[in-house]
Structure 1
Amino acid sequence: MKAKFIYSKLKGNLLLALALCFVVFSCEEFLEEQPSTLIDSDYIYTTEEGLKSGVVSLYKFNRDRYDRRIEDFMGAVLMSSRSDLAFSRTGYTGLMGRYQRGVSPVDQGANFVSTLFWKHFYNITNKATEIINAAEVAEGIDEDVRNQVLAEAKFFRANSYFYLYRMFNNIYVSTETVTVDNAFNVINAKSSKEDIFALLNSDLDFAIEHLEWTDTFGRVTKGTAKHVKAKVAMWEGNWEVAKTHALDVIEGPDSPHSLVASTADVFKGDRNHSESLFVIQSKDDLLGGGDDTMMNANYVTQYFQISGIESNIEQGGRGFSRVLPNLYLLGLLSEDPNDTRDDNTYFRLKYYYTSGSRIGEEVDNYAPITDLNNPSSTYTRYYQRQHPSCIKFAQEDDNPDSYLNKSNIMVYRLAETYLIAAEAMMRSSGNPLPYINAVRERANATPLTSVDEQAILDERARELAFEGQRWFTLKRMGQDVINRQIRNYAGDGPYFPNNFGGDRDPRVNWQDHYINFPIAQIDLDLLGPDYPQNDGY
């Protein structure tokens, strides 16, 4: 079994050239790469244009997680479903979000996580390492090109290992290219935390030094690398480093980044604006420009099934109602009536008839439970068809009549950098208020007069919900924090009786050891006999 796995790794390395043929010809337009008529592995790893094409392939591989059709595109939404901010309504994503699946090394959910995360990110780290090691010794190439190739590849390696560490904890890192000589070496032990963070910081430091502040839209830049460096420092508890890099991005003299004027502008258009730090591009007019996904549909209700209202982009597009903002999140958004983040910018709270005799009137077919002593008889339909939805991932040129669309995906943005700066200052030195309040004031919310950990958590919820960061934030803040938030707020408790108190209740199902995902047994079997499974599994 292990030999088969290692062979597949070697085979994958040989097939990289074939993948690059596709990527080079299909991605050069939006990443400004030049195609070649002769592509082979020697070309990729020994020539300047080949190495540049190899870097482009990393962007494609990184996008694959969102494009995979596994269980309604679970790779795009899983991390949002597992949080204190979500109601996970149905489907396999619902099972995962409610901690009914993905909680054992041998269940199907763990196998999906293996494909979408463990194997996915190790694939990127392996490819990035191949490119890095080849670029370091390649002869006859321009030094600026060499450093650009190394900087982007090292960013992707660091970003991928960082994701793996945050999910699984027990991971291994390597800077060694897989070759015929080492292909059958078995990994017997996880890497130490010190070794993991040493590699993350080394790669990110190189990327920061050699990347420019601006580049073609979609490519990582110095700001992207500094943002991730600040996130890594927060996991280390190195508040001063986190603060330094966050402030460089926010107010450094060469930084081109600034918050856009209003919350309505953050997810407008193709996300190519001053707040964007990293956007995964999908282009309809490019052969390799990404696949259609259900990312947006997973977050939006099936309101269009109500007579008199048709699916339209303004109200979120055509939704499937898998992962919805829960009452805890909606309560945080409603604390300030002037906060615009629930004003059809990040979230849509109300829907309106688009045809028939009630055009323009608010849809009122179903009612949620608001009085536990007199529960609504239509609450399940309300959650399916009329519940507030996250509309961050609806794009103006999406097809409103399809669940499947090809839209750009915001991964990192400046508002989070501001909140990192605020938290780092709150935990060390400096005044966090200007940074957390910059985010609030942009949303027309009343400025805070003090900041503590809960204020940071609450503001991150309002600003960054459903962008894939929440579960990691809870984990970073510690076992007590993630236990408290999940057990008190995940799902909607008694306001959705069908899930309350039983095996569909995430508050009941949560266990301490879920703070680390299980390593799927199919992956553990390919490692050495002493490689540790995460505690509790």
Structure 2
Amino acid sequence: MKKLWNIGIAAATVCLLSLLNACSLKEKNVAVLSLDKSFTTRSGFEGLLNGCYNDLYFLYGKEDFVAPTELGTDLWANVGTAGAGFTLYDHRLVTTDGNLKVIWGSAYSTINLCNTVLYYGKEVKGYTSQAELNAKLAEAYFLRAFSNFILVEEFGGVVLRTTSSTVEGVDNAPKRSSEKDFYDLIISDLKFAVQHLPVNQGLRGRVSKKAAYGLLAKVYLQRTRLGEAQEYARLALETAEELINHQTQYGATLYTSDNTRSGFGKLWAGENNKTNTEFLFIQAVEHANGYNPEFWNRGRTRQFFLPDLGGRGGEWGAREGSPLYGRSNSRRFKPSRYLLTQCFEPSATTADTRFAESFTYKFYANANKEITNALATTYKKDPSVVGYVIKGTSAKATASVNFYTQTIEEQTNMANDAGLAVFTPNWTISTTDKAKMPMMVSDPSDLFDPATNKYKDPAAFPDEVNLTNVHPALKKFSAPLYAQSNQYWMGDFSIIRLGDIYLVAAEAALLYNGDKSKAAGFINTIRKRAALVSREAEQVIAPTVVDIDFILKERARELAGEHMRWMDLKRTGKLTKAYLMQTNPISGELFDASRHTVRPIPQSFLDAISNADEFGTNGY
């Protein structure tokens, strides 16, 4: 990884002439031009290829890519003003949004680097065969396809670049291409990648054949929204089945359940993170020495989903900044009522472990905290809990628990939840029972207004304690083993995984020829591994229940927070005012189908081109 990063720094200078910066056609980058000769050598060429991976690090594990891919859907609300434009589709969703600038810039930077690789691939020397060279070119084709996939789904038909601005100069008056043109190139690139990528790569994080099959299946399915749905569904199904039916051949497999942990739980376990058999495409993070773009500044996603552990939680013994849980003063997003209580089963005894393995809903005290009479009165607790001491659970972790041996919670006083400070189940507990529980409890009845299906407006409930920011926290990207600090988490980041492809296959089977039995088979595989082995039978569904609505709920249970919900709703025809009003009205009230199915074009790009008026803002 260190080698990849060091070479990548030099290679990334190529992007200085990318479309994003829209330099004058008369300008020349002498530093880049002097590298021409080195790019025709194997070492220089592969250094350039390494640079194509660089911009993944500015999408995954950072704030910028979460909001545009997850908010404005049925699954999430925003906290305060964070992500408000994406959630509410209001006046704050504008061309100057910084998140969109990062996505646009990262995608086009990667595309330009990939185009440069493909250009020099015609001249490079040092490979023993065309097949050996093709394996390297296939990485560039894959990463170009991946970046174009992001662009076309987020922004629609924008600029389709197939040449390197480093070589041919920058187009200051770019023209739009159609979304179908984008998909034609994406599919062509991925067909090359599927054919030429190796099954195994020597360096963790490089794309291999399983990644190409996974992305191609997803692309075929997403393409159905543009027409010829049955044909592209057939292609999606065939591609997904090739990977599923030969998964061990391609070095992939689902984790299976046992009597103590579900396969879904094992998927997110820290001990499996760096050698994960389900991950098809990852952002590889070097955890020991910080040899990454931005070094240790990785894995910040978890902190954006945290509840108020410093204010409300602090009164009960939790702490605002914890290496285990994250930094709660950076919270941005919280789950919708629909996600917590209609997608996930709101039950303490459900066989499905995906809520418990996707969300932290028990937060433990850092140090001892006695429940005083004043605290009990404020939170309307029964007098019986006064004097109870919530035990501190923090201690220095062993290296098998936390690689960095940080002092973290959940290391002592864990028996019988003696140190439980904040409890946020997705099921409702009676007011009487909550009053007698010696910890802060916030369940769906505390969070949501049943009359509006939104988070409560505290002003409308003046007699209640305001717990609307005390909710479960997404924990998929926060295994304790790689918690480096209260901000940074150094685990690998899953971008495409095998569980998703099973659900792609199910949706494709339904769309292709209405084969509910085949779709149910794929779904049941995923549902059964979400339970302990002794309860797998409870998870099996009949083919008769399978429809697009069921599959969307299943995708929510399986994939919540994994940067794809907005695309899911676009593909299935559910990114509509009617659907959002039904499921998450905070995102439906201002939704306008005439423009809100694409994002604003970044102002920085429009300011740099000569035909901004012609190019347009996507209606913003």
TM-score (norm 2): 0.72
Instruction: Decide whether the 8 Å contact of 1:437 with 1:447 is kept in 2.
Output: yes
Give the direction of change, closer, same or farther, for the CA distance of 1:315–1:283 in structure 2 (3 Å limit).
closer
Counterpart amino acid of residue 403 in structure 1: Q
Rounded to whole Å, the distance in 1 between the matches of 2:333 and 2:19 is 40
Give the direction of change, closer, same or farther, for the CA distance of 1:447–1:178 in structure 2 (3 Å limit).
same
Instruction: Decide whether the 8 Å contact of 2:61 with 2:301 is kept in 1.
Output: no
1:151-184 per-position Cα deviation (integer Å, ceiling 9, x unaligned): 001101010011100001121212222257x425
Deviation at 1:418, TM superposition (A): 0.2
Say which of 235, 246, 266 aligns to 1:252: 246
The residue that corresponds to 1:342 in the other structure is 355
- Give matches, 1:335-414, under 5 Å: 337-343=350-356, 345-353=357-365, 355-356=367-368, 357-359=389-391, 360-361=417-418, 362=420, 363=422, 364-365=439-440, 367=442, 368-369=446-447, 381-384=466-469, 386-399=470-483, 402-414=486-498
Counterpart amino acid of residue 171 in structure 1: V
Q: How many residues are treated as equivalent by the alignment?
A: 489
List alignment gaps of at least 5 residues for structure 1: 18-39, 494-504
The residue that corresponds to 2:80 in the other structure is 90
List alignment gaps of at least 5 residues for structure 2: 1-17, 225-231, 257-262, 369-388, 392-416, 423-438, 532-537
Instruction: Decide whether the 8 Å contact of 1:263 with 1:346 is kept in 2.
Output: no
Q: Which moved more, 1:43-52 or 1:480-489?
A: 480-489
Secondary structure in 1 matching 2:551: helix
Rounded to whole Å, the distance in 1 between the matches of 2:31 and 2:66 is 25
- Quick check: 1:460 aligned with 2:476? no
Deviation at 1:16, TM superposition (A): 6.3
- Quick check: 1:274 aligned with 2:277? yes
Give the direction of change, closer, same or farther, for the CA distance of 1:10–1:228 in structure 2 (3 Å limit).
farther
Say which of 315, 323, 333 aligns to 1:323: 333
Secondary structure in 2 matching 1:411: strand
Deviation at 1:392, TM superposition (A): 0.6
Secondary structure in 2 matching 1:509: coil
Rounded to whole Å, the distance in 1 between the matches of 2:278 and 2:19 is 47
Counterpart amino acid of residue 459 in structure 1: E
Q: Which moved more, 1:447-456 or 1:170-179?
A: 170-179
Deviation at 1:404, TM superposition (A): 3.4
Instruction: Decide whether the 8 Å contact of 1:313 with 1:396 is kept in 2.
Output: no
Rounded to whole Å, the distance in 1 between the matches of 2:557 and 2:20 is 47
Counterpart amino acid of residue 440 in structure 2: N
Give the direction of change, closer, same or farther, for the CA distance of 1:8–1:56 in structure 2 (3 Å limit).
farther
- Quick check: 1:333 aligned with 2:357? no
The residue that corresponds to 1:528 in the other structure is 611
Instruction: Decide whether the 8 Å contact of 2:65 with 2:563 is kept in 1.
Output: no
1:31-81 per-position Cα deviation (integer Å, ceiling 9, x unaligned): xxxxxxxxx61354211111112121111222123476xxxx333444223
Rounded to whole Å, the distance in 2 between the matches of 1:407 and 1:76 is 17
The residue that corresponds to 2:227 in the other structure is none
- Give matches, 1:24-43, under 5 Å: 41-42=35-36
The residue that corresponds to 1:469 in the other structure is 564
Secondary structure in 1 matching 2:165: coil
Q: Which moved more, 1:398-407 or 1:51-60?
A: 398-407
Instruction: Decide whether the 8 Å contact of 1:65 with 1:117 is kept in 2.
Output: yes
Secondary structure in 2 matching 1:383: coil
Instruction: Decide whether the 8 Å contact of 1:51 with 1:149 is kept in 2.
Output: no
Deviation at 1:475, TM superposition (A): 0.9
Give the direction of change, closer, same or farther, for the CA distance of 1:127–1:96 in structure 2 (3 Å limit).
same
Q: Which moved more, 1:410-419 or 1:317-326?
A: 317-326
Deviation at 1:9, TM superposition (A): 9.0
- Quick check: 1:433 aligned with 2:520? yes
Instruction: Decide whether the 8 Å contact of 2:358 with 2:474 is kept in 1.
Output: yes
Deviation at 1:145, TM superposition (A): 3.5
Rounded to whole Å, the distance in 1 between the matches of 2:139 and 2:307 is 38
Instruction: Decide whether the 8 Å contact of 1:297 with 1:321 is kept in 2.
Output: yes
Instruction: Decide whether the 8 Å contact of 1:317 with 1:398 is kept in 2.
Output: no
Give the direction of change, closer, same or farther, for the CA distance of 1:55–1:13 in structure 2 (3 Å limit).
farther
Greater per-residue helix proportion:
1
Say which of 297, 307, 311 aligns to 2:316: 307
RMSD: 3.1
Instruction: Decide whether the 8 Å contact of 1:114 with 1:523 is kept in 2.
Output: no
Counterpart amino acid of residue 256 in structure 1: G
1:381-419 per-position Cα deviation (integer Å, ceiling 9, x unaligned): 5233x3111101103234475233333211110010000
Instruction: Decide whether the 8 Å contact of 2:484 with 2:490 is kept in 1.
Output: no
Give the fraction of aligned pairs with identical amino acids, expressed as a percent.
Answer: 24
Give the direction of change, closer, same or farther, for the CA distance of 1:8–1:476 in structure 2 (3 Å limit).
farther
Deviation at 1:256, TM superposition (A): 2.2
- Quick check: 1:61 aligned with 2:146? no
Say which of 587, 604, 609 aligns to 1:506: 587
Rounded to whole Å, the distance in 2 between the matches of 1:303 and 1:58 is 39
TM-score (norm 1): 0.82
1:496-532 per-position Cα deviation (integer Å, ceiling 9, x unaligned): xxxxxxxxx4332222121111112332341535744
Counterpart amino acid of residue 308 in structure 1: G
Counterpart amino acid of residue 101 in structure 2: T
Give the direction of change, closer, same or farther, for the CA distance of 1:377–1:393 in structure 2 (3 Å limit).
farther
